[in-house]
Structure formats: C-alpha cells, structure tokens
Structure 1
Amino acid sequence: MASLYLVDALPESVVGGVITLDGREAHHAAVNRVRAGESLLVGDGHGTLAEVTVESVSSTAIEVRVGSVRTENRPTPEIWLAQALAKGDRDELAIQAATEVGVSGVIPMQTARSVSRWSGPKLEKGVARWESIVREASKQAIRGWVPDVAAPATPGTLVDPRDHVLVLDPRGVIRLADAVASTPTETRRIVLVVGPEGGFAGEEIDRMTAAGAVSVVLGDTVLRTSTAGPAAIAVANVVLERW
C-alpha cells in the first residue's frame, strides 16, 4: 500500500497538476527513500485523498503529479475519545491507537486522579503534542480524516446534550455494546470517556451521569487507560457495522 503524506490543502483543479511536498513531509519522504516514479497518496486531512506519482526528489522538496482524487465522508455519528491525562506516555499511546482504529476526535481530560497536569505553557505544548500524534498515526493508518484535538476539558464540563456520552466504569451495569446500539438517531457524536490509571473519583462519575452521561462496562477485566479507549472504539465500530 502506498504511503500517505499530508498537505494543508489540495487545489480544486488538482487532477493532472503538480503538488510540492516540503518541510516535514519532504523529510518523511527522504527517510522512506522515496524515488521518482513511485506511487504515493497525498491527503488534506479533511477527507480528500489524491493518488500521485513522484516526478522529482530533492533534499528539501518532492514534486508529485496527481492521477486521481477521491473523497471520504466523515462518519455519522462520529466517535470521540475523552482521554484522561495519565502518567508516562499512556495517554499518548491511547490516542495513537484510537486514531488507528478510526476515532474522529480526542479530548484531553484533566481529572482528580490524573498524575499529569497541563497548565500554563504546558497546556499549549500538550495540545500541540497530541495534534502531532494523531497526525502521524493518521498517516500510518492511511486515513483521509485526521482526528480533531479539542480544548482540554474536565468531567464537569464534558457532557453536551447533543452527544451520547458513555463513561467506561468497571462498576457499570450497562454493557458498552448495548449502550452504543441504543444511540439516538439525532446524536452528533458518541463520546467514550476513559479515566486515568486510578480511575475516576466517585463524585466525577456522579457529576457526569447527573448531566446525562451513561456509565457503561466494557468487559469482565479492567484495562489500562492506554488500552481501554481503543478497545471501546473497536466495539463501537462493530456495533455500528463499520467493521
């Protein structure tokens, strides 16, 4: 399968035209030892993918000619992951894998038991880091849509009445698969909410369910925060018949 490279935008009259890849995309191509005549994919991260042929390669730029273009629709409802900040790189592993299995967006979530804390300059740096992770994971997975990274939230500000918010909780009595299957037709997005390694504080779950979220159980075992979200997305994809 051809590798995917991302650009900020694709021209409307792109078929037959030449696109220049520079910056980090040209560096990526150099690392992959791309040569003239090879076939690649170029996307804008917003659903448009172009099949291209490499025409010329230099140390700073790659020129490609577009052969065909296709557009992928954004799924409805979208599946989002509200991922609690976690120690080490476990939250980053979660959003990387979530991107690979098809999440539409991620929400960094500061919780009472989060060891990692984003504040001041660290907040902006953290969001930028997540944006880089989902971008690179999208290229790895050959995805037409790069997931959105929302502004950081807390359990108290997370629930939106337009969404079907499902909080993963080992003490839940409703199965995740059943909750996904009962998603109202007018739902904007399904938001899967994953806590940190220590789990949510009881009052955080109470606050979310009081606002309209549903407490659900994924299975008989307790997964790490780095694996719970991607596993839940996989379940949702099967229930929604996307897999």
Structure 2
Amino acid sequence: MALHFHDPSAAEAAVGDAIELGGSEAHHAAAVRRVRAGEGVTVTDGRGAWITGTCESVERDRVVVRITAREDVPAPRPRLVLVQALAKGDRDELAVQAATELGVDGVVPWQAARSVSRWEGAKAEKGRARWAAIVREAAKQAHRAWIAEVAPVEAIAALAQRAAQARMLVLDPTADTALTEVSFTDARDVVLVVGPEGGIAPEELDRLAQAGAERVRLGATILRTSTAGPAALAVVNAGLGRW
C-alpha cells in the first residue's frame, strides 16, 4: 500500500498538477517515512479529496508530488460522533486515537462531573489542539479521506442539546439494553457518550435521558474509558453496515 500524507492543497488539485508537501509533512515524508523520487503516494486534504501521485523530487523540507488520479470521497452518512469524557493520564487520548482508526467522524471532549482532568482557560484550547493532532495522525495511519473534527470542550448542557438533534447512545454498564440489540433505521447522526473512569454521575444520566438519549451497555464487564468508545464504535460500524 502506498504511503499516505495530508496536505490542504489536495483540495484544489487536478490530474497532471504538482502539489508540494512542506513543513512537518515534508519532513515526515522524507526523513521519517523515507519516501524516494519515483515512489507512489496518496495525499488527502482531510475533507474527501483523495489524490494518487508519484514523487518527482524529495527534499527534507519539500516533497513534490505529480498527480496521476483523483477521487472525491463523499462524507459518511450518518456521522458517528464520540463524546469522550476527559480522563486522567492519557486514557482519553488513547480512546480518541483508536476511535479515529475505527472511523469516527467527530470527537467531542466532555468535561464530565467526575472527570479528574479539567480543561479550563487556556488549557481548553491547548487540549483541543492536542486531540486534533492525535486525530490527524491516526487518520493518516488509517488512510482516511475524511479527518474527524474535534469540537471545543463541552459540559452537560451542550450534550443535552446534541441529544435532541441526533441519536445519542450513552454507555452505561447498568443499562437494560445491550448495544448489540440496537437497530439503526434512520439517517440521524449517532452520538456515543463515554464517561470518565469514575463513571457518569446519576444527575448527568438523568439530564441526557430527559433530552432523548438512550442508555446502552456493552457487555457483562466494565471497560476502561480508553476502550469503551472504540469497542462501541466497532459494534455500531457493524450495525450501520460500514463493516
């Protein structure tokens, strides 16, 4: 499989054009992946443009790719959105990375009541930027034409609004309904909500339920916040026929 890269210039590129990978992407291509002149690669803008081409020249800070084919990949419908509660250590980041590889279309950081980590002030934008970088790199690894968007951190009130606009499934190990029993028969976006290590507080579960969210469980065991979201995404991908 050809090496894959991300560059916004792919959005307007046409067959026969040459695009230049610069900055950190060129460094990654030349110094890390050690791409060579004459080698075939693919490039996406992260918004559906899928470029196939051949490297004409390779320098440490500049890689020129001549385009031989282009495809415009439609955005997935319905969208899969992961609401991931902030967690201590790197557990939330591990969840975001795996979810991206598994095909999530949007990521929402959630400041849950029981989140030990707190994104406040300048830390909120720094955290969002960190998650966006993780998503971008994971999307390249998975050769995805669409890169998931990372929303600003949200609190429970914003999540309740999402529940009124999409099909929200809240992962709760005490729920009566198993996620494998859920059928997906409409075009609404699917929003999966994962709590922090301490679980989702009862008042948060009530608030989301009142807004229309459904509580579902994955199985008989308790999963870490780093694995619950990716596991649920695998089930939903199968339910939607993506897999």
The TM-score range, normalised by the shorter chain, is over 0.9
The change in CA–CA distance for 1:60 and 1:158 in structure 2 (over 3 A counts) is: same
Question: 1:156·1:204 contact (CA, 8 Å) conserved in 2?
Answer: no
> Structure 1: 5+ residue runs without aligned partners?
none
Q: Deviations over 1:21-58 (max 9, x none)?
A: 00111011121111101111010000111011000011
- 2:233 matched residue in structure 1: 233
Give distance in 2, aligned partners of 1:198 and 1:3.
40
**Equivalent residue letter for 1:206:** D
The structure richer in helix per residue is: 2
Structure 1 residues 96, 12: closer, same or farther in 2, change over 3 A? Answer: same
Look up the match of 1:67. 68
One-letter amino acid matched to 1:241: G
Q: Which runs of 5+ in 2 are unaligned?
A: none
Match of 1:20 in 2: 20
Deviation of residue 156 (structure 1)? 2.8
After TM superposition, the structure 1 stretch with the greater mean CA deviation from structure 2, 22-31 or 87-96, is 22-31
Please give the residue correspondences for 1:34-183 in structure 2 after superposition, counting only pairs within 5 Å. 34-159=35-160, 160=162, 161-179=164-182, 181=183, 183=184
For 1:218 and 1:170, how far apart are their aligned partners in 2? 7
Query: Contact 2:55 / 2:64 at 8 angstroms: preserved in 1?
Result: yes
Deviation at 1:214? 0.6
- Asked whether the equivalents of residues 3 and 139 of structure 1 are also in contact (C-alpha less than 8 Å), the reply is no
Distance 1:136 1:145 in 2: 12
After TM superposition, the score normalised by the length of structure 2 is 0.96
Q: How many correspondences in the alignment?
A: 240
The residue identity in structure 2 corresponding to 1:81 is L
Superposition RMSD in Å: 1.1
Task: Name the CA shift for 1:20/1:237 in 2 (closer, same or farther; >3 Å).
Answer: same
Q: Which runs of 4+ in 1 moved over 2 A?
A: 9-13
* TM superposition score normalised by structure 1: 0.96
- 1:176 to partner: Cα distance: 1.1
Q: 1:35 to 1:175 in 2, by over 3 A?
A: same
